[in-house]
Amino acid sequence: MNEIAPIVPESGDKEAAMRKEPTQRRSKERVERILSCASTLIADNGSDAMRMSDVAEKAGISIGSLYQYFPDKGSIIRTLADRYNALGRECIADTLKNVHDMNGLQASFAELIDIYYALFLAEPVMRDIWSGTQADKALRDIDLLDSRLNGAVLADARARVNPAADRAFLENSSFLIMHLGQATMHLAISVDPTEGAALVDGFKRMVLREMLAA
Amino acid sequence: MNEIAPIVPESGDKEAAMRKEPTQRRSKERVERILSCASTLIADNGSDAMRMSDVAEKAGISIGSLYQYFPDKGSIIRTLADRYNALGRECIADTLKNVHDMNGLQASFAELIDIYYALFLAEPVMRDIWSGTQADKALRDIDLLDSRLNGAVLADARARVNPAADRAFLENSSFLIMHLGQATMHLAISVDPTEGAALVDGFKRMVLREMLAA
DNA sequence: TGCAAATGTGAGGATTCCTCATATTAATTG
DNA sequence: CAATTAATATGAGGAATCCTCACATTTGCA
């Protein structure tokens, strides 16, 4: 919960949308190579401009091999999204794990918002993927699930801080906060940095007030 | 500020991204026909599945004629987005125009949120366009400008209600609110209706509290 | 070693956006 | 109203790109 993620998130758990689970070492390396090359290409010109033929060439493999592991272009992007999300969730869960009072919650969440903003600013791949997030139903679902999971973690922390609060309300509110957090990041990176920072601060204020109120 | 928009918004002012301004009556009719057919196709299967050849066929014209008026597929979608936005802005401006005290502001804005939610639920084309909004840089810019314009109108109303408030703060906060409003709509229509309504309510509470606080 | 399973290859099929050379219709002018 | 210019219409096909598939190569194992 305190470092900027590496350019290519380390291999997560159950990869999404892989055509066939690689078993030999050679093919496992290839999958990582493909993802790494795709990541670079996305960082350079965006996922839209990324051609499957470019990925294959850069990875030093044939188009056919590419499609052996990833059934379509979207699955590469989704796998990257999954990995970034997993990193983010881990960071959020770590940070909120030991929160037990309102002061701690407020401080931790404010810190999280700053970390996420820094991440979005630093990672062109993350920016690109989340910008295109709404275009693809599958990506949208990944996004939604991520907000939900993070929302559940936040709801837990808020319940710990305020045991009297209505649980259903906390879950709803936390889900919303996580989703709006993403939207705020999109907005903040779309405007000039000064305004972006101010908008992130505005969001922070709104959210902290929401947590106090409930 | 009280009706659901028609399926195809009426011809606005300066159409975005038209290849050549239609001058003869025949061609003006064609432009409207194209937009209307595109709208239907989008409502049926989404803008992604909409083929330019389908639009041409449905409109009873040739592909070439289509491209006479719209330089590319995106421009059709952008034109529809512009029209919907213009309708929304008009509705917002009308509603907030006569707000002069905090009670009125709160009531009006709560009403606006409900209207927008109803609009998103009722208009598959609007949903589709806004879902794809992040995919295309040009659409994103249209979206951003719309939030900015609406934010300015909201900031005006808030300044009227609370003349002591810092103007820069109001503008920043209002811009954020408008953007997050869109994000909330996206979220709300992506989940089941009961949860969607609860999320919209959650957003309403957050926003009204924000307006009270400043 | 030899065989089966896993993996690799890239030409080309399929889809779709969009162009352009040409044809038709409308407006204008002498 | 004939002739000329301008506006509009057409659709075959160029270009870009995703992805498949029939066949080749490599690896693991009995």
- Whole-angstrom CA distances from B109 to A67, A204, B117, B191 are 50, 22, 12, 23
Of all residues in chain A, the percent with pLDDT exceeding 70 is 86
pLDDT of A116 over the 90 cut: yes
Contact by Cβ (8 Å): A207, A107: no
E strands within chain B?
none
d(CA B127, CA B131): 6
pTM attached to this predicted model: 0.90
Higher pLDDT pick, A15 / B85 = B85
Count Cα atoms within 13 angstroms, Cβ side, for B140: 18
Of all residues in chain A, the percent with pLDDT exceeding 90 is 79
Nearest residue to A162 (alpha-carbon basis) of A116, A102, A120? A102
Measured between CA atoms, how close is B210 to chain A, in angstroms?
6
Q: Which nucleotide's C1' sits nearest to the alpha carbon of B53?
A: C16
Provide, as residue numbers in chain A, all residues whose Cβ is less than 8 Å from the Cβ of B199: 172, 175-176
pLDDT of A134 over the 80 cut: no
Distance A26 CA to C7 C1' (A): 9
Interacting residues of B183 by C-beta distance below 8 A, sequence separation 6+: A179, A180, A182, A183
Q: Which residue type does B74 have?
A: G
pLDDT of A13 over the 80 cut: no
pLDDT of A18 over the 70 cut: no
What's the pLDDT tens digit per position in B75-127? 999 999 999 999 999 999 999 999 999 999 999 999 999 999 999 999 999 99
Tokens of B179: 């953007």
Tokens of B84: 């919907």
pLDDT of residue A26: 61
Q: Which residue type does A176 have?
A: L
pLDDT of residue A136: 78
Parts of chain B with a pLDDT under 50: 1-7, 11-16
What's the pLDDT tens digit per position in A88-109? 999 999 999 999 999 999 999 9
pLDDT of residue A30: 85
pLDDT of residue B3: 34
What's the pLDDT tens digit per position in A183-198? 999 999 999 999 999 9
Q: List chain D nucleotides near protein: any atom < 7 Å from a Cβ.
A: 7-13, 17-22, 27-28
> Can you tell me which residue has the tokens 């806004």?
B130
What's the pLDDT tens digit per position in A25-52? 566 778 999 999 999 999 999 999 999 9
Distance from the Cα of residue B164 to its chain's centroid: 31
pLDDT of residue B4: 36
d(CA A19, CA A16): 9
d(CA B209, CA B14): 37
pLDDT of A1 over the 60 cut: no
Query: How much is the average pLDDT of A53-66?
Result: 96
Specify the long-range contacts of residues B125-129, CB closer than 8 Å, at least 24 apart.
B125/B7, B125/B39, B125/B42, B125/B43, B125/B80, B125/B84, B126/B5, B126/B84, B127/B189, B128/B42, B128/B43, B128/B46, B128/B47, B129/B42, B129/B47, B129/B77, B129/B80, B129/B81, B129/B84
pLDDT of residue A8: 52
d(CA A205, CA A91): 21
Within a 10 A sphere around the Cβ of B124, how many other Cβ atoms? 18
Provide, as residue numbers in chain B, all residues whose Cβ is less than 8 Å from the Cβ of A183: 179-180, 182-183
Q: Which nucleotide's C1' sits nearest to the alpha carbon of B64?
A: D10
> With an 8 Å Cβ cutoff, are B144 and A187 in contact?
yes
Residues of A with CB under 8 A from a CB of B: 48, 130-135, 140, 144, 147, 172-173, 175-176, 179-180, 182-184, 186-187, 190-191, 195, 198-199, 202-203, 205-206, 209-210, 213
Query: How much is the average pLDDT of A67-84?
Result: 95
> With an 8 Å Cβ cutoff, are A172 and B198 in contact?
yes
Distance from the Cα of residue A167 to its chain's centroid: 25
Least CB-CB distance to B135: which of A132, A175, A183?
A: A132
Nearest residue to B33 (alpha-carbon basis) of A188, A198, B129, B25? B25
* Greatest extent of chain A over all pairs of C-alpha atoms, in Å: 59
Q: Which residue type does A39 have?
A: S
Average model confidence (pLDDT) for chain A?
A: 89
d(CA B182, CA B3): 19
- Whole-angstrom CA distances from B170 to A81, B52, B133, B210 are 35, 43, 26, 10
Nearest CA in chain B to A191: B144
d(CA A166, CA A178): 18
Provide, as residue numbers in chain A, all residues whose Cβ is less than 8 Å from the Cβ of B183: 179-180, 182-183
Nearest residue to A134 (alpha-carbon basis) of B174, B57, B131, B47? B131
pLDDT of residue A137: 83
Distance A81 CA to D3 C1' (A): 66
A208: left (phi over 0), alpha (psi -120 to 50) or beta: alpha
Query: How much is the average pLDDT of A12-23?
Result: 51
pLDDT of residue B25: 57
Nearest CA in chain B to A211: B206
Contact by Cβ (8 Å): A5, A84: yes
pLDDT of A9 over the 80 cut: no
